[in-house]
Amino acid sequence: MKMRIYISLCLIAVLVGSGCDPKEQPDASIGDKLRVVTTIGMITDIVKNVGGERVAVTGMMGPGVDPHLYNPTPRDLQRLDSAHIIFYNGLHLESKVGDLLAKMSGDTLTVAVTDAVDRSLLLTPPEYEGLYDPHLWFDVKLWMQAVIKVRDALSAFDADNAVLYRSNAEGYLAELTELDTYVKSQVARVPSQQRVLVTAHDAFNYFGKAYGFEVRGLQGISTATEAGIADVQELATFIAARRIPAIFVESSVSSRSLEAVKAAVKSKGFDVEIGGELFSDAMGSEGTPEGTYVGMVRHNIDTIVRALIGESGL
């Protein structure tokens, strides 16, 4: 059964151009733990916190990786094949991996963590052709529903440890409630007319809605579409007219296009600063504060507030 699935993944891998190496073997050191594979770091963080000791989790997309463009590697395919559960965001965030997961069949449980979120709470930007905006992790309260989805999926799959998953999830959700309060307290320091967030792509619409920011991205919801000269000029006109002091690069998107915006703003007689780097679709390096979901959200709000109210340090 498993071999059949692996062969079909290999065929798909060849079709998407990532190749396939059937000689790689799964890591035997994880013993009887649940083998879980995740896509973006924010989901890996949920599984680590909720699964704890019972789960061996592998995140496919590390620091600086753009999920919109990510192609699964041969090693990913092997991990996917040997996983008990695969958690992904869904809502077309991981476009190529999503296609692959949709074609998987057999023993592996695939779970989109956004599945249970009430559709009326999701954003449907007109430029995204009738699809939902997938970046809901920057509304901390909304992202807590993804935690509940992971908790319930782990508990259903491994009922013997449901009490542990419930208790771990409770602790993590309490941390996220505190985080939401922290973000609100930081936002309150920015005068309301200065609450404008300009970034490389449209990853912050849920953040804007939850915390009262007007949000503009140079590229659209997905980085798969390049920004053109007209987009740069339009955004530059907006920044100069509103006298916005700072715009923000993103760790998983090239900073070149925002440098072009900065230059275009200057040609209109106004200076805008690059206010720092935000983590949007990928977290920071493991072992750093930004390598966790809580740390990345705190880093982002601290960076935004510092640049918009003109403080040299918090």
Which residues contact Zn ion (rule: CB under 5 A)?
Answer: 203, 281
Is 146 or 203 the residue whose CB approaches Zn ion more closely? 203
Place of tokens 């059937």: 22
Specify the amino acid at residue 152: D
Helices (H), the chain: 2-16, 41-51, 74-82, 95-103, 140-157, 162-187, 205-211, 229-242, 256-267, 293-308
* Shortest CB 281 distance to Zn ion, Å: 4
* Shortest CB 253 distance to Zn ion, Å: 8
* Shortest CB 239 distance to Zn ion, Å: 21
- SS3 state of residue 215: strand
* Shortest CB 141 distance to Zn ion, Å: 20
Q: Judge whether 251 and 201 are in contact, CB under 8 Å.
A: no
User: What is the C-alpha separation between 73 and 77, in angstroms, rounded?
Assistant: 6
Is 50 or 203 the residue whose CB approaches Zn ion more closely? 203
Provide the b/e sequence for 177-210 (b: ≥16 CB within 10 Å).
Answer: eebbebbeebbeebeeebbbbbbbbbbbbbbbbb
Is 91 or 183 the residue whose CB approaches Zn ion more closely? 91
* Shortest CB 282 distance to Zn ion, Å: 9
Is 30 or 69 the residue whose CB approaches Zn ion more closely? 69
Is 36 or 253 the residue whose CB approaches Zn ion more closely? 253
* Shortest CB 225 distance to Zn ion, Å: 11
Ramachandran angles phi, psi of 272, nearest 5°: -115, 140
* Shortest CB 44 distance to Zn ion, Å: 17
Q: Judge whether 279 and 300 are in contact, CB under 8 Å.
A: yes
Is 76 or 94 the residue whose CB approaches Zn ion more closely? 94
Is 183 or 203 the residue whose CB approaches Zn ion more closely? 203
Provide the b/e sequence for 1-37 (b: ≥16 CB within 10 Å).
Answer: eeeebbeebbebbeeeebebeeeeeeeeeeeeebbbb
- SS3 state of residue 223: coil
Residue 53 CB neighbour total at 10 angstroms: 9
| Cα–chain center distance at 24 | 28
* Shortest CB 236 distance to Zn ion, Å: 22
Is 203 or 236 the residue whose CB approaches Zn ion more closely? 203
